[in-house]
Structure 1
């Protein structure tokens, strides 16, 4: 691959450096030069929702580890990760990790599954998280913890040997990339069975003790794909009413059968065309002729934003008495730079086609725009890990100015779970543990290795999988 000319975040030593660089690249990303700590910090303010006093404005986003047992039960590395969620100090835990609603809904064979045989051990995961938090912070009553319910859709790979997709519709680019042209699309009766799986999973999540469930609608997985099913015939495709039927029927089923369980939605607010490696390995969009109809929240060109249907979906959710929205964008499989801004690409990815700070700013500013338009909705922001030492400065400004309600962190938690507690207590960040978006966590997962921060977490660095991962990266295979 070629070299990129964007400035590394670590090189921006002062607020003046950051301000000048943002001006140079024409990016609007507000931040506070001076940080507040303790009770004066906007990030330390509690938030009231559903009768709970959520203790601060940090959220741990879903983090899979590709480390569960073949039957979907948590493994020892799963338990370590959930324990570290509790150690973080964040009071909102969004989903823990993507939890499949059935065996065939898994995106990989090491994914967590919720069913009658696993629910007790998933409840133990939750207890481990909460007891760890109680031990370190002397209070767990102000935690709000959910479980992300997921179906991988076209990316189902439950046995790790053969892709077994559940296609909502035939996508001309993604079908070609994944070799799916001969596969059938889901019948309506099969969709209805999946809806029942989500409702049953929600009941089990409540049984396990979770405060809420996330009906995952992001990243190209099943729920997200329904939102762009403009060419699908029948009651689950075509019109906006039909494309949101999958979500509505799950929500109404949960509200009927599990009425005390809160519901949230992790949503890709917008999408772009699929990208791939272009000249020198830099990402470039696929070429199309005519309009691109498959980008929910995107324009007809496939490279711009049109939030008309995103706002319409927010209104639908509010009418369903759902207010929790965890933001994201695009998909890690086909346009990872808009979803997971990074300086270094994953093994199977491409170099960023834009400065990652532009990608971060897009996520933050679109979330702020939606918060302004729909102030009664509760927005959890994303894209912050790339900011590294400037993360608290941007996060403080965002929360202090009402641009979002919570700041979500994922990759940053893997090497440095205490980053939240350190920010809230005004401590200097441990720069040796800051996520530098190297991408080894993703590359490991792509090769069915446990996903952790191999370069910066001594625990993973000492594991035998790291030698295998280094060989993969060196060989490019």
Structure 2
């Protein structure tokens, strides 16, 4: 029996397999609102047969968006639009849905990735960015304003408020975005955090922001619904955030009852030097898994069924996230199930598409 297609339980939620659709930004919203594009996109992915779908980075406030075209969940209008999306998906799919909550910090107010990489000014719909310290990501990005201690605490509250709205919209899980150089990661890394208050300096202080966010969300989000996190396990830069610190953070979150940890890397500093290849981030997930009890999701150039199977079968991670390959082939789990002689859940309208000799593929 395929390990990849075996069930897993996280908290009170059952997942029928270990394939995760990770957050993949679509840059197709106006004022943070779900659009018809999102309905088409996520509607298709909800029929992929994956065990879990994580919606793209969704900002907790307008200034926290990566771009002016990102999803948000900071007000009634955004909440209602998200609820409509979830309701539409629920008509035809039982796939659990997670929302990734984010504040982009100094990497906010940028254009869509297919446009010129240059900060979007206020005159063109952008905004002043904020960060732990007034250090720009690079010359194409805005120089952020350093957050006051009071502003930091307000952002913690914005994460909690967004979690309440996500619950009301029908979301099953929350993933806190603490990776890829966005605001939480900016607080964690000494390369971007030069503060001298309780949120800077020592590792304990640099971890304070994310731990406060987790606890604030956990306090208001229903107990039967999970709260996980995505982190960058290393900056790939000397003297930056590293695996040893990630393990300490993971242990602290595990102790607080974190539901899972989704392990990526990089995104904080343009000096990063990453050796990219199949499974290049899996060793980081494996190292963290050896230190925590919560489930671990691995990601990073995992493209083949046998490759994903091996990761979970050998205990390197509990689940695998298939990102770009899922965009390229939204039926990736169907092909993986066929290759591994497993079964995958699809709508009955698709039963007749099973290849000749593989009629038991669908359920």
Q: Same fold (TM over 0.5)?
A: yes
2:65 to 106, 126, 141: 106
Pair 1:116 & 2:76 matched: yes
Shift of 1:247: 1.4
1:327 to 254, 258, 263: 263
Assess if the C-alpha contact under 8 Å between 2:103 and 2:184 holds in 1.
Answer: yes
Question: SS of the residue aligned with 2:33?
Answer: coil
Task: Provide the rounded CA distance (Å) in 2 between the counterparts of 1:54 and 1:47.
Answer: 5
- Aligned pairs for 1:297-336 (under 5 A) are 297=242, 307-331=243-267, 334=270
1:270 to 219, 234, 242: 234
Pair 1:188 & 2:101 matched: no
Question: SS of the residue aligned with 1:361?
Answer: coil
Which stretch has the larger CA shift, 47-56 or 160-169?
160-169
RMSD (CA atoms): 2.3
Shift of 1:392: 1.0
1:211 to 158, 168, 172: 172
Between Structure 1 and Structure 2, the one with more helix by share is: 1
1:384 to 301, 307, 312: 301
Assess if the C-alpha contact under 8 Å between 1:384 and 1:408 holds in 2.
Answer: no
Question: SS of the residue aligned with 2:44?
Answer: helix
- Aligned pairs for 1:1-80 (under 5 A) are 40-69=1-30, 71-80=31-40
1:3-60 Cα deviation digits (max 9, x unpaired)? xxxxxxxxxxxxxxxxxxxxxxxxxxxxxxxxxxxxx111110001212221001000
Task: Provide the rounded CA distance (Å) in 1 between the counterparts of 2:9 and 2:328.
Answer: 30
Aligned residues: 325
Task: Provide the rounded CA distance (Å) in 1 between the counterparts of 2:87 and 2:145.
Answer: 41
Question: SS of the residue aligned with 1:315?
Answer: helix
Assess if the C-alpha contact under 8 Å between 1:158 and 1:164 holds in 2.
Answer: no
Pair 1:419 & 2:336 matched: no
TM-score (norm 1): 0.64
Question: SS of the residue aligned with 2:280?
Answer: helix
Task: Provide the rounded CA distance (Å) in 2 between the counterparts of 1:311 and 1:249.
Answer: 18
1:404 counterpart residue number: 317
Question: SS of the residue aligned with 1:97?
Answer: strand
TM-score (norm 2): 0.83
Task: Provide the rounded CA distance (Å) in 1 between the counterparts of 2:5 and 2:299.
Answer: 18
2:121 counterpart residue number: 161
Question: SS of the residue aligned with 2:77?
Answer: coil
Q: Which has the larger radius of gyration?
A: 1
Question: SS of the residue aligned with 1:44?
Answer: coil
Shift of 1:384: 2.8
Pair 1:89 & 2:89 matched: no
1:366 counterpart residue number: 284
Shift of 1:158: 7.2
Which stretch has the larger CA shift, 114-123 or 157-166?
157-166
Pair 1:296 & 2:259 matched: no
Shift of 1:179: 5.4
For structure 1, the 5+ residue unaligned runs are: 1-39, 134-139, 274-291, 298-306, 339-353, 429-477
Shift of 1:241: 1.8
Shift of 1:86: 0.2
Change (3 A) 1:177 1:72: closer
1:246-303 Cα deviation digits (max 9, x unpaired)? 1122222222223424211011011123xxxxxxxxxxxxxxxxxx53x211xxxxxx
Shift of 1:238: 1.0
Assess if the C-alpha contact under 8 Å between 2:63 and 2:129 holds in 1.
Answer: no
Assess if the C-alpha contact under 8 Å between 1:325 and 1:380 holds in 2.
Answer: yes
1:102-137 Cα deviation digits (max 9, x unpaired)? 11111111111102111122122223333343xxxx
For structure 2, the 5+ residue unaligned runs are: 112-119, 342-363
1:214-249 Cα deviation digits (max 9, x unpaired)? 111001000111101453110111112211111122
